[in-house]
Structure 1
Amino acid sequence: MSGVPENAPQHCPGTESADAGKASACAGCPNQNICASGVPAGPDPAIEIIKNRLSNVKHKIIILSGKGGVGKSTVTSLLGHALSKLNPDINVGILDADICGPSQPRVLGVRGEQVHNSGSGWSPVYVTDNLSLMSIGFLLSSPDDAVIWRGPKKNGMIKQFLSEVDWGDLDYLLIDTPPGTSDEHLSAVQYLSQAGVTGAIVVTTPQEVALLDVRKEIQFCRKVGLPIIGVVENMSLFVCPNCKSRSEIFPATTGGAAQLCAELALRPLGALPLDPLLARACDAGADFVRELPHSPAVAALGRIVAEIVNICNERNGS
């Protein structure tokens, strides 16, 4: 369709239409105000700003899943800790892009910390010397405050996070997103379109009810041109912390992530077991990787991280 902006939502009426910026399909689109104003649409100037801001970030990885409750935030925090421990010279940042449900400050044990603003932008909160975090959770007066925002305001917050946080030199930036294929995801992909995104890691659990939504997320990635690094199957087995016996809490009745990857030509990154000690560590904001290095979950995480590092190096040509 003539006049349709790049990365526009499905059913976009186009900039030349009388409904530009006013149709129901325009709700939440970052270009909505521009289209409604009648000003010819062009690239959002924030895209270039974000490209420059993130020029010192080597690998930018978006953590996705169409299904809620599969453990995206847990997986993101584990990857952040594990990557930062590979080498003290490796710097890792986590951006909590879940505007309405920011959980990373709790999971990473930095609730109540303050974000400082300077001439160079917002400074992220440091969890360790080489692991930093930015989240809207740091900007709320209370952890119990509800963020009741429509799409455009959430999009603006993501734009601000991407364009104004001073991460410094990072080897990995992990972007933790909410469930679905909606505002936050479209905004993140659009604003990072010129910044050289390494790809997406898709998180699922083994049961078909989760895989149904994950398939939608994979289709989203393919429609917007977001490369997929691979799939992590979380909570694949329950491992008893005492006797180490294993059982299926979420049965893989249709083959789980392995079958999904085979069907859709994706790379399986590995499977993380369901460990109650991990859940307790997340609630307490403890570093599970450091405190329980011999856990089966940490061993599985090590293999997953090795896969991710290899893929990132391959795509970076190093």
Structure 2
Amino acid sequence: MLLEGPVDLSGEDVRLVESPADVPEAPADGSHILVIASTSLDGPSAGTDTVRAAVAAAASGASVHVVPLPPGDAERREALLRTLGLDPTDLPASGGTAAASPPRGAGVVVLLTGLSGSGKSTVARAAAIRLVEEGSPLTLLDGDIVRRHLTAGLGFSPADRRTNVLRIGWVAAEVAHHGGIAVCSPIAPEDTVRRQVAALVAERGGRFLLVHVATPLEECERRDRKGLYAAARRGEIPDFTGISAPYDVPGAPDLRLDTTGRSVQECADEVLALVHSVRENLDA
């Protein structure tokens, strides 16, 4: 139950809980589990996970009281406990804190950025297929699909391109929040926008991986079957990244990949190795 007003718990068997690790395995019948946790759909879900664990443990007959107090506010925490007739220094707990609890999911967002024709979409799709074959919960946010379903109506002005990448980032962050892997392959030429996407992912508890598909401009132009680069050089396509619009080369990506002269699977292997190493660290 949500604690909506003062209750006198002095003299009662009270267990203070601030993280899932604090929840007793077999609380005594008639005891009280006091959960101090911030529960929200908009941020890390440690509080929600703590409440869920406490309710499950209390099935034997203990009462669960939930106090929606943000973690880290020691002054308000102490005032709250004294209001309930409790001594903050004399409550049994495991010593965990909600802030130390991992956010839900801890999924991964892989953003492949590079010039048009660099091979980022092809490598992204190959890596995504391999991850699906391994059983990973995966969402592929490819440029053409996103333009058709998520950002229909946006043009190719600098402002619309920023919006396109940020929308991709928001969706990818939600995927990571729920434990999945999102593989994205927009051009994403601006460093500031890529950093904004990384921040969105971090806020939702995910791990952001930046892959710079660093295929040289000359090779990208050589591969251009649609003649986009040639048209851009003639001035027919404004704000074309790499020709008439800048591309901010990532300074320290998690992986830098030149696809020149390499097979798609070879390049995908490098992306997979990166994802696997990160997921192993998250699971450790």
Q: TM-score range, shorter-chain basis? A: 0.3 to 0.5
TM-score by length of 1: 0.40
